[in-house]
Structure 1
Amino acid sequence: MTVLINEKAASISLTGITRSYGAVRAVDGLDLEIASGELISLLGPSGCGKTTALRIIAGLEQTDSGTVVVGGKDITRTPANKRDMSMVFQSYSLFPHLSAADNVAFGLRLRGVKPAVRRRRAIELLELVSLDHHADRYPSELSGGQQQRVALARALAVEPKVLLLDEPLSALDAKVRIQLRDEIRTLQRRLGITTVFVTHDQEEALSMSDRIAVMSNGRLEQCGSPAEIYSRPATPFVAEFIGSMNHVPGIADGATVTVSGSRLPLSVPGSGAVTVLIRPEAVRLTDDPNGNTTITTISFRGPVTRVIGRLDDGTPITADLPSVQAASFAEGGRVHVTYAEEPVLTKAAD
C-alpha cells in the first residue's frame, strides 16, 4: 500500500468565537487551541453548539465575533472554498452517477488534475480505506459503511490542511460504526492530519480522540484527554454527561464530604447538604447482613457485572464490579456500601 502522508496539517486557534441566531446564542465565547496533527472531538448534547463551531471552522457559518486562525493565518473572513479543508457529513453525499473512484477523484478534477493522475490517486486513496477492489462500483452497489469510506477517501484526496467530520458514523449500524471509527482513527494517525470530529456519542469520543472538548449551551465546559475528562471532570455537567453516575446525598464540610457513612475528599470545597456524584466503578460492596444496602438487580455483562441496590434511605446505588467478584452476591442480599477514596464532585442537593 502506498501511504500518502499529509505534510500540510495545521494548528487551529479559536478565540472568542460567538454566533447567535436571533435570541439563541449557539456559540458563546469559545476559546479552543487544536494542535497540528491532533484529533479533537467536540462532544455534547444536541443544541450545545458543537456543529455550529465546526461549521465556523469550515467557513460555512460566519462568526458574530472572534477569530479563526489556521496554521498561523487568520481565516475568519476567508470563504469556505479557500480554506483548504475537507468535510465529511453524516449523509454520505456521494454522486450516484459516478463510480467510487470518480467520486474520490471529483475534487481533483475541479482542480484541473490530469485524468490519469487523478485516477491513480483515487485508487491509492481507495486502497487506503480497503476499497480499491470496488473502485468501479456505484454508490447504490455499496453498503453504508463502504459509502462512508468512499466519502472519507474523497475528503483526503485533495490533501487538506484540516479534516472536519460532522457525526459521520451516526447513520450506520452499531457493528459497522465501531469498525469504522477504529479505521478512521488508524488512518488519521497514519496521515497525521489535523482532525475535528463532532459527535454526541461519548463512547466514540473516548475511543477516538487525543482530546475531547465538552460543550454545553454554547460554552466549553472542559477540554482534556479522554482519561482526564472521564476521571477528573471539571464540572458536574461533564461528570454526568460522560459515563454513568450515582447521585448520593451527602454533607459537605470544607474539603471533604460524608456520604453513606464514608468520608471522601472533594474536588471543589463546599458545605451543607449536597448530592455527591460517584462513578459505579468507585462503589465497593461487602457482604454484610447488617449492611446499609439491599441488592435489587444483578446484570451480567461479560467481564463486568452491574449490581444495583437501594440504600436504607431509599437512594438507588449502582456498582460495576469484576464478574468474578460479583458472583458472590445475590438479589435480595444485604451488603455494606463504601466508596473509593478519590476526589468527588457535588451539585446542589436534589
Structure 2
Amino acid sequence: MTASVEFRGLRRTFGRTVALDGLDMVIEPGEFVALLGPSGCGKTTALRCVAGFEQPDSGAVLVDGKDVTNVPANKRDAGMVFQSYSLFPNLNARDNVAFGLRVRKVDAPTRHRKANELLELVGLPTHGDRYPHQLSGGQQQRVALARALALEPRVLLLDEPLSALDAKVRVALREEIRRLQLDLGITTIFVTHDQEEALSVADRVAVLRDGRLEQVGAPAEVYDRPATPFVAEFVGTMNHVAGNVSGDRVTVLGQVLPVDGPVPAEPSVDVLIRPEAVQVSPDPDGTAEVVAASFRGASVRLRVAVDGGEVLADVPGHEAIRLGAGTRVAVRLVERPVLVAPRTVAAPAPVAADAV
C-alpha cells in the first residue's frame, strides 16, 4: 500500500545556516517527485526529515495524514537508498538484500526467497552469491535498491543514488528505477542536482532554493513555464539578452514579445530565452554572425554574436551544415511569452556551448 507525504511548514537550521525555511508541499500516493536544486538548497535535509534521520526545528512531516515527525526512523515505513551503496562487505548480495528481514526475525527460507525475488526484479537474478567487491557500481546500487524494497515500504527515498556512476550506467539505472516505481506504484522522493535526471523520470519536479520551494510542477511545466528567473536559470540553459519593457511587452533583438510573469520597475531588463527559441538562418546581409558550433547529436548548439553580446541557439543537425563559424545570419525569436529579470550591470554570458 502506498502513501501520501506532506511537508508542513518544515524548518531546519544548522547553526546560522537555514537548510529548510518553511517548506510546504504535498506528494500524492504513488507519485514520483524529484527534489531538484543546487548544493545546500535543503533537498537532502527534507528527505532525511521524512526518513527520520533529521529532526526539524519546527513544522511537521505527515504520511497519509499522520504526523510522524517524532516517530523514530526504525518505526517509519520508508526505505532509503543513499549516494554511497552502504552494502555490508562481508555479506553476499542475497544476504545484503535480506538484512532488514533478518533484523525483523523473518525465517531464513522466507527471507532468502524474498531476496531472490527482489534480485530478479532489479535485474540481478544470478548475482545472489556475489560479494560487493565482485559487483560493479551499478550492480551494487541495484542491490541497495532491492534492500530498500525488501521491507515493502510505503515510501521510497532516493538520495542522489546515481551520482557515483558513469553516464551510461546512470541513464540505464534511472530508467530501471522509474520502471520499478511504476510497477510497484510506490510513492518515491528522488533527490538530485542533475536537471536532466529530474526531468526525465519524475511525475513532478520541485525546485528548491535556500530551503524554500521555488516551483513544483510537471517537468514540461517547469521547463517551459518557469515560475521565477531562478528556476529558468537552473533548469536548462538560458540566454540573457538586453531588452526594454513597456507595459506588458518587451522589445528584444528587434522584436516585441509579451512578458510572462512580473515586470521589473526599471524599463531596462534581461530577457530570458531558451536556445531552442532562437531561430537562425543564413543571411549575407544579416547583422549577426556564427562564432562557434558544438555537435550535440540530433541538434547543434550555435554561439552567435548579436548586437550587444552573444546568444546560444539550438538548431537541427541538417540545418547546421549551412551555419558554420563565420557565417552571417539573421536571428529571430519564437513568438511566445518570455520571462524578464532586472537588468544586471553586464548581462551574463551564455552557458558554455557544451552545457545542458
TM-score range, shorter chain: over 0.9
The residue type equivalent to 2:149 in the other structure is: L
Deviations along 1:224-260, one digit per CA (max 9) or x if unpaired, are: 0110010000000000001111110000112111001
CA–CA distance in structure 1, aligned partners of residues 131 and 324 of structure 2: 56
Q: Secondary structure at the match of 2:322?
A: coil
Instruction: Work out whether residues 254 and 269 of structure 1, in 8 Å CA contact, stay in contact via their aligned partners in 2.
Output: no
Instruction: Work out whether residues 34 and 189 of structure 2, in 8 Å CA contact, stay in contact via their aligned partners in 1.
Output: yes
Residue 316 (structure 1) aligned with residue 310 (structure 2)? yes
The residue type equivalent to 1:331 in the other structure is: A
CA–CA distance in structure 2, aligned partners of residues 93 and 309 of structure 1: 47
Give 1:331's aligned residue.
325
CA–CA distance in structure 1, aligned partners of residues 284 and 228 of structure 2: 37
Q: Secondary structure at the match of 1:132?
A: coil
Q: Secondary structure at the match of 2:126?
A: helix
CA–CA distance in structure 2, aligned partners of residues 174 and 312 of structure 1: 38
CA positional deviation for 1:300: 2.3
The residue type equivalent to 2:319 in the other structure is: Q
The residue type equivalent to 2:152 in the other structure is: E
Instruction: Work out whether residues 248 and 258 of structure 2, in 8 Å CA contact, stay in contact via their aligned partners in 1.
Output: yes
Q: Secondary structure at the match of 1:29?
A: strand
State TM-score, norm by structure 2: 0.94
Give 1:3's aligned residue.
none
Residue 216 (structure 1) aligned with residue 184 (structure 2)? no
For residues 19-98 of structure 1, what are the structure 2 equivalents within 5 Å? 19-98=12-91
The residue type equivalent to 1:329 in the other structure is: L
Instruction: Work out whether residues 257 and 264 of structure 1, in 8 Å CA contact, stay in contact via their aligned partners in 2.
Output: yes
Residue 344 (structure 1) aligned with residue 338 (structure 2)? yes
CA–CA distance in structure 1, aligned partners of residues 75 and 331 of structure 2: 59
Instruction: Work out whether residues 227 and 261 of structure 2, in 8 Å CA contact, stay in contact via their aligned partners in 1.
Output: no
CA positional deviation for 1:87: 0.5
Give 1:279's aligned residue.
274
Give 1:18's aligned residue.
11
For residues 1-350 of structure 1, what are the structure 2 equivalents within 5 Å? 8-270=1-263, 272-313=267-308, 315-350=309-344
Residue correspondences, number: 342
After superposition, the Cα gap between the structure-2 partners of 1:269 and 1:87, relative to the gap in structure 1 and judged at 3 Å, is closer
Gapped regions of structure 1 (runs ≥ 5):
1-7
Give 2:350's aligned residue.
none
CA–CA distance in structure 2, aligned partners of residues 286 and 176 of structure 1: 38
State TM-score, norm by structure 1: 0.96
Q: Secondary structure at the match of 1:347?
A: strand
Q: Secondary structure at the match of 1:268?
A: coil
CA–CA distance in structure 2, aligned partners of residues 221 and 38 of structure 1: 19
Deviations along 1:87-106, one digit per CA (max 9) or x if unpaired, are: 00011000111110000000
CA–CA distance in structure 2, aligned partners of residues 306 and 142 of structure 1: 38
CA–CA distance in structure 2, aligned partners of residues 141 and 335 of structure 1: 56
CA RMSD of aligned residues (A): 0.9
Q: Secondary structure at the match of 2:312?
A: strand
Deviations along 1:75-133, one digit per CA (max 9) or x if unpaired, are: 11111111111100011000111110000000001111110000000000000011110
CA–CA distance in structure 1, aligned partners of residues 255 and 332 of structure 2: 6
CA–CA distance in structure 2, aligned partners of residues 132 and 269 of structure 1: 55
Give 1:5's aligned residue.
none
Instruction: Work out whether residues 256 and 269 of structure 1, in 8 Å CA contact, stay in contact via their aligned partners in 2.
Output: no
